Amino acid sequence: MPEVPEMQNVMVEREGHLALVYVNRPSKLNALDDLTIAELSAAMAALDDDDAVGAIIVTGAGEKAFVAGADIQVLAKQGVLDGKENARRGQALTLRMENCRKPVIAAINGFALGGGLELALACDVRFASDNAKVGLPEVSLGIIPGYGGTQRLPRLVGSGVALQMILQGDPIDAQEALRIGLVNGVFEQASLLDEVKKLASRMVSRGPQALALAKQAVRRGAHMSLQDGLDLEADLFGIISSTDEMKEGMAAFLEKRKPSWLRK
């Protein structure tokens, strides 16, 4: 079982087959700096490799923020080369989250601005507290989103809505985020994490290899033509059909019992 390394700005808790990853800089509204990005990347890598982990919930420590953005003190000092390197570091983290074999769920418990929203966009599904505010305010600082926001937001909500959010730079509330499809649901702040754990547990009750291949089909297929996506789906359907997991899932259904998946 891979061990999550000791960290300063990220906290990992385990509850059965669930892993909870907290961005833990509440005094800075959980803003992302280089150390926090590196620690999040290390945590995600360890949890992805841990067969005992069925799903990962990403949230922010404290009651005010999921992640309020990147650290402005760092951004204010960057030039062309380190600006590009900064974007690449953030993009590498969001790609690691997106490509994780396990379901990754964002529990947005307050502000998710700039890099914070970009972190949430890299998750498979997103749920928000009723007091959450989300947005990409970078243009108000004279920069643009750099951790994938210009690419993932249009793919999720459409280019017109995404461009309005990006070009205005104004945050939206949780209900508007739900209306445009940016989040999958809204809960009262006090119950957000418990509700997300319930939803994550439902995913964990499904076949782990099926979850990984379903994610792969959706993620890879989104960048293909329909025919290429269908070919990918057929290939992955063939792969899962050869597994003990498929045999157990089918047998459990026919025998009217719960399947016993191979989780450690």
User: In this structure, what are the phi and psi dihedrals at residue 117, rounded to the nearest 5 degrees?
Assistant: -65, -35
The single-letter code of the amino acid at 194 is D
Side-chain-side CA neighbours of residue 204 (13 Å): 22
Sheet with 111-113, edge to edge strand ranges: 65-67, 111-113, 133-135, 172-173
- Provide CB contacts within 8 A for 26, sequence distance 6+: 60, 61, 62, 64, 65
Catalytic residue among 13, 118, 195, 255: 118
Hey, how many other C-beta atoms are within 10 angstroms of the C-beta on 238?
A: 9
**How far is the C-alpha of 110 from the C-alpha of 5, rounded, in Å?**
27
Catalytic residue among 3, 63, 85, 138: 138
85 as an active site residue: the answer is no
CA torsion, points 164, 215, 122, 134, in degrees to nearest 10? 50
118 as an active site residue: the answer is yes
Strands 172-173 and 133-135, bridge-based pairing? antiparallel
Give me the active site residues, please.
118, 138
